Amino acid sequence: MAQTFPSRLPKARRGPGRPSGRFTQHHRIDKLKDLLESEPRGLTLDQLAATLRITQRSVRRYLEALQTATELESIATAPGAAHVWRIKPSERGRAIPLRRAQAYAILASRQALDVLRGSALYDELDIALGHIEKLAQTPFRASAKGEISGGNALESRFFVLPHAPRSYGARGEDLDELFRAVADLRVVRYRPRTRAGEARPERVTFLPYAMLVHRGAIVLLGSKRGSDVIEVVPFETMTEVRTSETELFVLPSGFDVSLYVHGDFGVAPPARTRALVEFDARVADEVKSRRVHPQQKNFTAPDGRVRVSVPLVSVPAIVSWVLGYGDAAHVIEPPELAREVGALLARAAQRYETR
């Protein structure tokens, strides 16, 4: 069937003026902020209006809106000349304009940082989030049209529910050491944790490339000095952490954290082998609605069954995912994964046999 088009197209808007669209005004305010950041000496109303393709009246309105989050000043460059607007030097590079919706969205993730409790890093973040909370709750200014309202305790009614965090409160100093090492690319030395009665291991010289939080636990990505193999090291396996004050390292060329982040399956090295799991039609909608891995591929049969292909990055994680669907899931390949799931189910079934 031939595609039809409307007989009359809307006329394109020409010339400066107030932009249309629900969020266009916010985008223009952000662009105004970027312009002022890029010109420390300031810009006149004429220059701002010409660059943004809006009227001087709109520029004044946007400057007033920007003033709520960033300190601006109007400077006379010469007697009788037009004033220039600029961000105050003391505010340059530090002020970030936030709308109330953005502030509440940041506050929604606050509980995800509880895993860092006990560290100086957590205290710093908590202070910053406290400032953002005050910003979110400030009363409206007359020009703040289109903003959501404040003062309704939205921060207690809109938030992310992360996994219950591990308790690292007694290891705040180690957390701070590792964060500093990751940030500044500093060499770290630590001893692997051992069980009671085991010999004390030698110190490991470690190059920490990245620090991640997954399911409430902290893990490090990096390599041992002299090795090209990137390892995943859980924080709880590291003791006596010491960051070097003099030894630095360089990230490997092409290092990409995303290659080691596998959605519900955790943090692990990339895998070439894939697992193929078939799910009954009765759970197909739920299976297709969840993306457990960034490289997940779904295939739907005419009778409603779904086959899901995912990289085999962590056998325990994939086994747990499959078992979560009970008898509605069936591992097709690889054969060794199918045998492992089958053996586990057989052992579980023996516990429920009638004696």
Burial class for 146, CB neighbours closer than 10 Å (0-12, 13-18, 19+): exposed
**Rounded distance between C-alpha atoms, residue 48 and residue 196, angstroms:** 69
**Rounded distance between C-alpha atoms, residue 255 and residue 235, angstroms:** 21
| Burial readout 295-325 (b: 16 or more C-beta within 10 A, e: otherwise) | ebeeeeeeeebbbbbbbbbbeebbbebbeeb
- Per-residue HEC secondary structure of 101-130 comes to HHHHHHHHCHHHHHHHCCCHHHHHHHHHHH
Report the alpha-carbon angle 127-38-140, nearest 5.
50
**Rounded distance between C-alpha atoms, residue 174 and residue 234, angstroms:** 13
**Is residue 57 within a helix (H) or strand (E), and if so which, with residue range?**
helix 56-66
Report the alpha-carbon angle 200-203-204, nearest 5.
130
Burial class for 153, CB neighbours closer than 10 Å (0-12, 13-18, 19+): exposed
| Burial readout 336-355 (b: 16 or more C-beta within 10 A, e: otherwise) | ebbebbeeeeeeeeeeeeee
What confidence category does residue 354 fall into, taking pLDDT thresholds of 50, 70 and 90?
Answer: low
Which pLDDT does position 87 carry in this prediction? 85
Average pLDDT, the chain: 86
Amino acid type, 163: H
Q: Both tokens of residue 71?
A: 């300190």
Strand ranges, E, within 179-257: 186-192, 204-214, 217-224, 231-234, 238-248
Report the alpha-carbon angle 50-52-56, nearest 5.
60
Per-residue pLDDT reduced to its tens digit, 88-110:
877 766 667 788 888 999 999 99
- Range of weakest confidence among 11-20, 92-101, 197-206, 294-303: 11-20
Over residues 261-276, the mean pLDDT reads 95
Which pLDDT does position 4 carry in this prediction? 44
Domains of the chain as residue ranges with CATH = 24-91 (1.10.10.10), 100-156 (no CATH), 169-260 (2.30.30), 263-350 (3.30.70)
Which pLDDT does position 295 carry in this prediction? 95
Per-residue pLDDT reduced to its tens digit, 228-256:
999 999 999 999 999 999 999 999 999 99
Percent of the chain with pLDDT over 90: 57
Per-residue pLDDT reduced to its tens digit, 304-351:
999 999 999 999 999 999 999 999 999 999 999 999 999 999 999 998
3-class DSSP state of 197: coil
Asked whether the predicted pLDDT for residue 177 surpasses 90, the reply is yes
Do residues 295 and 264 lie in contact, with contact meaning Cβ atoms separated by under 8 Å? Answer: no
Percent of the chain with pLDDT over 70: 89
Rounded to the nearest 5°, which phi and psi values hold at 102? -65, -40
Which of 232, 212, 234 has its CA nearest to residue 222?
232
Asked whether the predicted pLDDT for residue 14 surpasses 50, the reply is no
pTM: 0.70
